Structure 1
Amino acid sequence: MVGGTLPARKVMVVADPSRESAAALQYALSHAVVENDTLILLHVENPNHSTWRIPFSAIFRRPSNGSVAASPKNASTSIEGVIGAGGTNAGAGGEGTIDFLEAMKHACVIAYPNLKVQTENVGMDGKDKGSVILAQSTAHGVELLIVGQRTSLSNAILGSRRRSLRGLDTAEFLIQNSQCTCVAVQRKAMGGYLLNSKTHKNFWLLA
């Protein structure tokens, strides 16, 4: 909007203790949200996975200088910097464990001090993960849904025809069925992101 403030939106990131989810949050902070948006970190608790508190180093790569960036344009470094600095509840050397949702929220606050950040933890209640995420995004009036996407040979071949709701399958399910814009994010080792949505397939975005 020229000469004014962009209208506030609700952006949802699917959050779990994985590198794919970390990449989704990095993309959201560096390319998708602005300060007047509301960012919702949604975790769907799987009763078959009991690990809630995990080592920081299991998700995020520690930066070489151990510094914490404050600029949204360096959101990737910011998130990794929280981990490198040890986080609020981590032990010496940054190898402690804390709730990953709180770690992600803390990274958001560092990148955008005035950003409204909500954390939501919901159960599956006998439903599949994709359906729960869709229901939550609708209930919150989300305009942009961001999910991490895992690459595998079988997923690349079968794509959205698979509905096992694991990794890439969940992302493709959300892309095809979300009422709002859904972007699936892969962080590439050489830098940048590979994005998928209803209108863009394998779109390369430099970090």
Structure 2
Amino acid sequence: MKKIFKACLIACSLASIPVLSSFSVNAAQTQQADPYVLFENVTQQAFDRFQTEWPKVQDDPERLKTIIREELLPYVDYEYAAFKVLGKHVRDIKSEDRQAFVDAFKDYIVTVYAQLFKQYKETQKIVVEQTRGLNGDKIVVVKSRIVEPGRPDISVIFKLIYRNDKWGAFDMEAEGISMLNTKRKEIGAAIDRVGIKAIIDDLNDKAAQKIKINQKEPNND
């Protein structure tokens, strides 16, 4: 399972980025004060929904995109992540192209996460490390582990930023791979060669890809 997850992450990161449903308004506002508590609750709720709806997902894998949009995307700062990916180029791009890139990147994130979580097993759970003090930090690192009986834990690290009065994930690192850094290098190498519109078209094409689950996929590492 660990090798399958890593292979999928590498494949996604070569074209990708990073994480995170829906509490009541009051609960969400309370949890925004502590990103660790927020993250623990959001990811647990997402995994609970994976488990509850997995038989339906196996019949209709595209349902994974719906779960990601509803359970994870509201807690992803995809705009900040998109601008980080563009890096130095962000100021040279027309405002309408920047917005088109952000929109395409948002949809792309949904597909990337759906591709990653199609490896989910009903015996898995996620464990978030214990909360520590914030000390006024605006960027925090949240460490978590995907645990499955009889298999090595998968370490997943999320980076969150406090922006616009809320916390949002902008990067994910698994097996030592930062999807933000990988995508930034890819975009940086391509943008001068093909232009921003071609990159936006490519993101939209990848976002539209259908999710497929191989029912006979082996579970061996």
Greater fraction helix: 2
- TM-score between the two structures when normalised by the length of structure 1: 0.29
Higher relative contact order (CA 8 A, sep 6+): 2
Name which one, 1 or 2, has greater alpha-carbon Rg. 2
- TM-score between the two structures when normalised by the length of structure 2: 0.27
Greater fraction strand: 1
